[in-house]
């Protein structure tokens, strides 16, 4: 048995883990303790600074509700959500890349027919979204489900404005036929700030960081025998593409949003998605 010393702090803590500890929990906790202690030593963390951090974490927990998850937001702005996504979603060359899910997805959105309009509040610049769901060989995928959602023209998701926006505004699920094609109407999304009226917003402000995400349409694409794809298409000319508050932008996900000649559609966003086969 060795007592705690500054030099042997990691060993002192990790030696306490019981022999029955699940091997994966052991691996994760041992590494967490190693890196936490290394961080504190690296910056010579003071008592006051640690108390400040504990206060921040306390407020982060206290603001969480069923509707608001400030810890996920913290993980998002620290780039940790995108890192975990990258580690868990290494895909074969040619498959469409994934990005962060975000907190505004709602399961079981209404199933809609191709060409339907998901914008129910009549605001914003109309946009046609179309393309194909393909496998790695370029073949169309039948029975793929596209679960899509975006903010409205004021930069809010419907769930952020219950009673103001119609329920299921800018959301829907679409199923492909044997041609793998999808087509639906919505609005050209706009950039918006992530919720910044809590501790995470204060942290961003203290770091000189803005809270904005570049405009994007969310997609979750599932199909039998293919890996689930959680992704966005970003609006090409957005001013926040290079400074997304949650680091979600990938070059391959920046989509063309083209001016359309169609009388009732101002924009057209063509984009093909390529799914990787499932691993089992």
Q: What residues line the site for ligand BEZ (CB under 6 A)?
A: 73, 76, 100, 102-104, 194, 213, 246
Contact 148, 218 (CB under 8 A): yes
Contacts of 76 (CB under 8 A, 6+ apart): 82, 100, 102, 194, 245, 246, 247
> Which of Fe ion, ligand BEZ, none interacts with 221 (beta carbon under 5 to 8 A by kind)?
none
| Alpha-carbon gap, residue 79 to 248, rounded angstroms | 9
CA distance 58 to 78: 17
- Least Å distance, CB 58 to ligand BEZ, is 21
156 binds, among Fe ion, ligand BEZ, none (CB under 5 to 8 A by kind): none
In the bound state with ligand BEZ, the residue whose beta carbon lies nearer, of 246 and 275, is 246
Q: Which is nearer to ligand BEZ, 130 or 160 (CB)?
A: 160
Q: Which is nearer to ligand BEZ, 100 or 235 (CB)?
A: 100
- CA nearest 234: which of 208, 255, 203? 255
Per the listing, tokens 């179309």 go with 130
Which C-beta is closer to ligand BEZ: that of 135 or that of 196? 196
What does the block give as tokens for 23?
A: 């091997």
- Smaller CB separation from Fe ion, 79 or 94: 79
**Min. distance of Cβ 23 from ligand BEZ in angstroms?**
32
Look at residue 246 and give the partner it binds from Fe ion, ligand BEZ, none, a contact being a CB closer than 5 to 8 Å depending on partner kind.
Answer: ligand BEZ
Element housing 59 (H / E): helix 47-62
Nearest to 170 by CA among 180, 161, 179: 161
Strands 267-270 and 145-149: unpaired
x/- string (CB under 5 A) for Fe ion, residues 72-111? ------------------------------x---------
Nearest Cα to 192, choosing from 152, 236, 252?
A: 152
The rounded distance, in Å, linking the Cα atoms of 81 and 89 is 12
Binding pattern for the stretch 237-276 against Fe ion, x by CB under 5 A and - elsewhere: ----------------------------------------
Near Fe ion in 106-145, by CB under 5 A? none
**CB-based closest residue to ligand BEZ:** 102
Cβ closer to Fe ion: 134 or 215?
A: 215
Neighbour tally for 145: CB within 10 Å: 17
Which parts of this chain interact with Fe ion (CB under 5 A)? 102
């Amino acid at each position: 048995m060795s007592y705690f010393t500054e030099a042997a702090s990691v060993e002192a803590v990790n030696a306490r883990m019981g022999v029955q500890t699940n091997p994966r929990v052991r691996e994760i906790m041992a590494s967490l303790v190693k890196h936490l202690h290394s961080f504190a030593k690296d910056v010579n963390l003071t008592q006051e600074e640690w108390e400040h951090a504990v206060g921040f974490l306390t407020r982060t927990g206290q603001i969480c509700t069923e509707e608001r998850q400030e810890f996920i937001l913290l993980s998002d702005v620290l780039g940790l959500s995108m890192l975990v996504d990258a580690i868990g979603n290494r895909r074969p060359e040619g498959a469409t890349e994934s990005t962060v899910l975000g907190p505004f997805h709602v399961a079981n959105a209404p199933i809609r027919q191709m060409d339907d309009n998901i914008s129910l509040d009549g605001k914003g610049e109309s946009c046609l979204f179309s393309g194909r769901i393909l496998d790695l060989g370029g073949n169309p995928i039948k029975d793929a489900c596209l679960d899509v959602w975006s903010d409205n023209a004021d930069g809010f998701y419907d769930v952020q404005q219950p009673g103001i926006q119609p329920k299921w505004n800018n959301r829907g699920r679409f199923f492909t036929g044997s041609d793998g094609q999808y087509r639906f109407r919505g609005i050209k999304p706009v950039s918006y700030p992530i919720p910044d009226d809590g501790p995470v917003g204060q942290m961003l402000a203290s770091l000189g960081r803005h809270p904005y995400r570049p405009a994007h349409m969310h997609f979750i694409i599932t199909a039998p025998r293919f890996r689930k794809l959680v992704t966005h298409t970003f609006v090409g000319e957005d001013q926040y593409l290079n400074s997304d508050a949650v680091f979600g932008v990938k070059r391959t996900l920046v989509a063309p949003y083209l001016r359309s000649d169609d009388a009732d559609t101002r924009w057209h966003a063509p984009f093909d998605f390529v799914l990787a086969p499932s691993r089992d």
